[in-house]
Amino acid sequence: MLINNKFSYVNIDKETFAEDLNKKGAYYANVVTWTILFSLPLFWLLDYLFLQDNWTKLFVARLLVTIVTYAIYIFSKRIGWSSTKTVVVFITLHVIVHSFVCGVVSLSSIMPYFLVFSVFMLLINVTLFWPVRYPIFLCLLSYFIIILLFAGKDRIDKYELLVNHGGAVYFILSAFSCLVAYNRYVVLKRDIARNILIDEANNKLLLQNEKISDQKYVIEDANRKLKTLNDYRHNTMNILLNDFKNFTGSIEMSLGLLHNNSENITAEQKEILNYIQTGNEKLRYLSEKLANSADRDEAKVDFNYERFDVGPVVEKAVMDIAADAAQMKQINLQLHLAPMAIMVYLDKLFFTQVLFKLLNNATRHAQSGSIITIHTNHTNDKCIIEVINVGKLIGKEKMDELFNKLQPYKPLSNAVANDDDMGLAVAKKLTETMGGIFTYNSNTTTGNYYRIEFNSTH
């Protein structure tokens, strides 16, 4: 039975995958570029040690090539070349120089140059992150130049000299470096894809965590309503029992009067009948009241306002997020609480839910390894909570989409719907329902910016 261990890229976001590949390639290309530029004095030293007669010519040639390649590097940055294209042109020029030097130096000095060229090809292919077609092209180009220059020599054993004086070492190591480049590209590409899958899995876990938290708030709110309803019905039943007790007492008294007076209906008997009629009206009234309590609207969200300090609530919400969501994405949460107490008159349960949804979604949409700062301020009798992420921008258009996912016709009681990625829209709706203001922005000046504002109390 064959087991297919080939990695699948089907379920990976192609745009994110391509962006991460470009970032990885640009990083290693930048490392190789500056390493080659700063290694120019080492090549001058090599020329001076092994070509003492003609080292000045190579000095000028290497300097000119370095200047040209640096100019290409700067020019590519300005016109927006891809990092792969830039590094291919950059290294191609240096490979041509090395191949030309190996083809023209004397046989007595050619061995060190072939060895250096072999190490050069090996190091760039061990370091760079690029498809294998580029190192193969560079190797074939160098082979062609070296063989062409040796073909111009007027010796019968010229190719034998090429092999015996370091050419064989170069051909083997350069070909082996192509295999290293291929393996490195495949492994790093797979690691990038796995990291994307891990980030997506973490985001799904955060979404599930948010839904679980929503259910917790629904349960707490339902328990609160049940407690209120239970107290209401308990009081109603007490009243009902008390009225029934008085009513039965009045019936007993009326019956006693009837037993004591067996003549025709008198005024007192009429009074007793009036008592009975009044009792029946009370019974009907209490029955209607009990029925109304059973038909009470339980779907409506009733805010239980109380006065509290937002500082400890915000701190607890941040600590809960830091223990779960932020650690999964390696995000650093920095909390900056106002030194004074900031008192508000809000529903503490739903205020906590707003904080959780804001922090959870700000973390979920932030780039791994970024920093999120949370600030609490008190300005002009306003309680202000700011969440700022200066990492990768979400974009104003994407934010508008996230904050307007809750349809206008949906009641607040359905604020914890099963729709995905509605946390920010629900947080904004709850904030506005409790009389607050929720604003947001995403640009290079503010970063990914979220702001909640409530009236404060004294």
- The CATH code of the domain that includes 365 is 3.30.565.10
Statement to judge: residues 30 and 62 lie in one domain = yes
Q: How does residue 449 score in pLDDT terms, banded at 50, 70 and 90?
A: very high
Length of the chain: 458
pLDDT of residue 231: 65
Domain count across the chain: 3
| pLDDT (tens digit per residue) in 122-159 | 988 888 888 889 999 999 999 998 888 888 777 666 67
What integer pLDDT is reported at residue 287 of this predicted model? 53
Give me the helix-helix angle, 14-38 and 40-50, nearest 10°: 40
**Which whole number is the average pLDDT over 254-272?**
59
Q: What is the SS3 assignment for 333? A: strand
Q: At what angle do helices 310-323 and 348-364 cross, to 10 degrees?
A: 40
DSSP states of 436-451: -EEEEEEETTTEEEEE
- 300 inside domain: no
Q: What is the DSSP letter of 331?
A: P
Q: Which two tokens stand for residue 145?
A: 């130049």
Q: pTM for the whole thing?
A: 0.51
In a domain, 344, yes or no: yes
219 belongs to a structural domain: no
Domain match, 198 and 49 both: yes
Residue 326 domain flag: yes
Is residue 243 located within the same domain as residue 181? no
Residue 136 and residue 230 share a domain: no
288 with 314, same domain? Answer: no
pLDDT in tens, 335-378: 899 888 889 999 888 888 888 888 888 888 888 778 889 999 98
**Would you state the pLDDT for residue 98?**
86
Q: Residue 375 to residues 16, 337, 357, 384: CA-CA distances in angstroms? A: 31, 6, 16, 8
Confidence bin at 278 (pLDDT 50/70/90)? low
pLDDT digits (tens, 9 = 90+) for 292-317: 554 454 444 567 888 899 989 998 88
Contact 343, 458 (CB under 8 A): yes
The answer to whether 435 and 454 are in contact (CB under 8 A) is yes
Distance of CA 76 to the CA centre of its chain: 31
In this structure, are 313 and 441 located in the same domain? yes
Domain boundary among 275, 294, 313: 294
9 within some domain: no
24 within a domain of the structure (yes/no) = yes
Domain boundary among 235, 263, 294: 294
What are 79-131's pLDDT values in tens digits? Answer: 888 888 888 898 898 898 888 888 888 777 788 888 888 888 998 888 888 88
Distance in angstroms (rounded) separating the CA atoms of residues 412 and 431: 11
Distance CA 428, CA 403 (A): 7
Q: Examine residue 299 and state whether it is found in any structural domain, yes or no.
A: no
pLDDT of residue 416: 45
Question: Environment class of residue 366 by beta-carbon count within 10 Å: exposed (0-12), middle (13-18) or buried (19+)?
Answer: buried
Tokens of 448: 């990914």
How far apart CA 441 and CA 424 sit, in angstroms, is 13
User: CA 81, 85, 90: angle at the middle one, nearest 5?
Assistant: 105
Lowest mean pLDDT among 36-45, 70-79, 223-232, 277-286: 277-286
Residue 64 structure tokens? 């000119």
Torsion, Cα 427 433 434 435, to 10 degrees, reads 110
Checking if the pLDDT of 40 tops 90, the result is no
Q: Are residue 89 and residue 48 in the same domain, yes or no?
A: yes
Range of the domain at 432: 305-457
| Separation of alpha carbons 9 and 12, rounded Å | 6
- Report residue 61: phi and psi, to 5°: -65, -45
pLDDT of residue 361: 85
Measured distance CA(439)–CA(449) in Å, rounded: 8
Instruction: Dump pLDDT digits (tens) for 374-418.
Output: 999 988 888 999 999 887 888 888 888 888 876 554 444 444 444
Q: Which of 234, 259, 294 is the last residue of a domain?
A: 294
Q: How far apart are CA 88 and CA 93, in angstroms?
A: 9
Residues 315 and 414 in one domain: yes
Q: Is 249 found in the same domain as 139?
A: no
Do residue 271 and residue 313 come from a single domain? no
- Give the model's confidence band at 280: pLDDT under 50 very low, under 70 low, under 90 confident, else very high: low
CA 237, 242, 247, 253: dihedral to nearest 10 degrees? 160
Do 324 and 442 fall within a single domain? yes
70: in domain: yes
**pLDDT at residue 9 above 70?**
no
Task: Give the DSSP letter string of 123-173.
Answer: HHHHH----THHHHHHHHHHHHHHHHHHHTS--TTHHHHHIIIIIHHHHHH
Residues 290 and 310 in one domain: no
CA-closest candidate to residue 145, choices 88, 81, 67, 92: 92
